[in-house]
Amino acid sequence: MLESVNLLTYIIVFSLIGGLVSLSLAAALLINKKVAKKFASLGMPFAAGALLAAVFLDLLPEGAELGNSETLFVSALAGILLFFFAERFIRWFHHHHQHEGKDPAVPLLIIGDTIHNTLDGVAIAAAFLISIPTGIVTTLAVAAHEIPQEVGEFGALLGKGMSRRKVLLANILSSLAATAAAIATYFLGQNTELPLGVIFGLSAGFLLYVALSDIIPTLHENHNKKKLFDWQPLLLLAGVATVAIASYLTHGI
């Protein structure tokens, strides 16, 4: 019983770290737009590497040890497909309302960010259900992605005419979705009839989808082809190395 309480405490604390701390840093960065833009350009490749490392060096191997590998990998594939169709639907909804002469950009940005934070919470809790070290490493990877993501979200909402106070409030409420989803995932994971491989696989699929379909294509699009040397590939490797080292140290502890 005590172990369950401690695990739930870890999940709540680290899901808050993944959301509110990232949000606070993003808000602080926006005070200087030039610094925020530079941080986003450097933070995105690091986040991509961290997410990929969290999936392949921690989440999938640990999940395979605890359950049915076939269920785990099929669920990861299902997660990738699920998030692909969810993103496609959101884009269709946006396009459809533009033709009706409406501007759904602000609510869609907030809804999209809330869904994103919800999935972050599921991924963090699923990782903690494997082990506390895996949860810590996954939180690190998620936070690395969330900071540049929130910088972009803040800038987009401010560009739509929202006040800084309203933007901050909307993002705080949205970030709390990660904690709510993490708690719900924890209690679902306590159900012995629920195959944990499904939760772990869906979480891995989500992190993979974010890294491979969102961040990395953006890095390629924004790459200055005239430059011979580029920091972004090195930062991606740095993200991989950071999570790998963190995984090794936390599992050792």
Neighbouring residues of 126: CB distance < 8 A, sequence distance ≥ 6: 59, 185, 189, 196, 199, 200, 202, 203
Pair 206, 76: CB distance under 8 Å: no
In the chain, DSSP finds a helix count (H) and a strand count (E) of 11, 0
pLDDT for 219: 79
pLDDT for 76: 92
pLDDT digits (tens, 9 = 90+) for 160-209: 777 778 888 888 888 889 999 999 988 887 765 556 778 888 888 988 98
Give me 47's structure tokens: 């986040």
How many domains does the chain divide into? Answer: 1
pLDDT for 33: 66
- Residue 82 CA to residue 200 CA, distance in Å, equals 14
Could you tell me which of 5, 10, 12, 1 has the C-alpha nearest to residue 184?
A: 12
Pair 203, 126: CB distance under 8 Å: yes
DSSP 73-105: HHHHHHHHHHHHHHHHHHHHHHHHHHHTT---H
Domain that holds residue 166: 2-252
Which residue ranges of the chain lie beneath pLDDT 50?
Answer: 1-2, 95-97, 101-103
Residue 91: how many CB atoms within 10 A of its CB?
A: 12
pTM: 0.77
- Residue 197 CA to residue 64 CA, distance in Å, equals 8
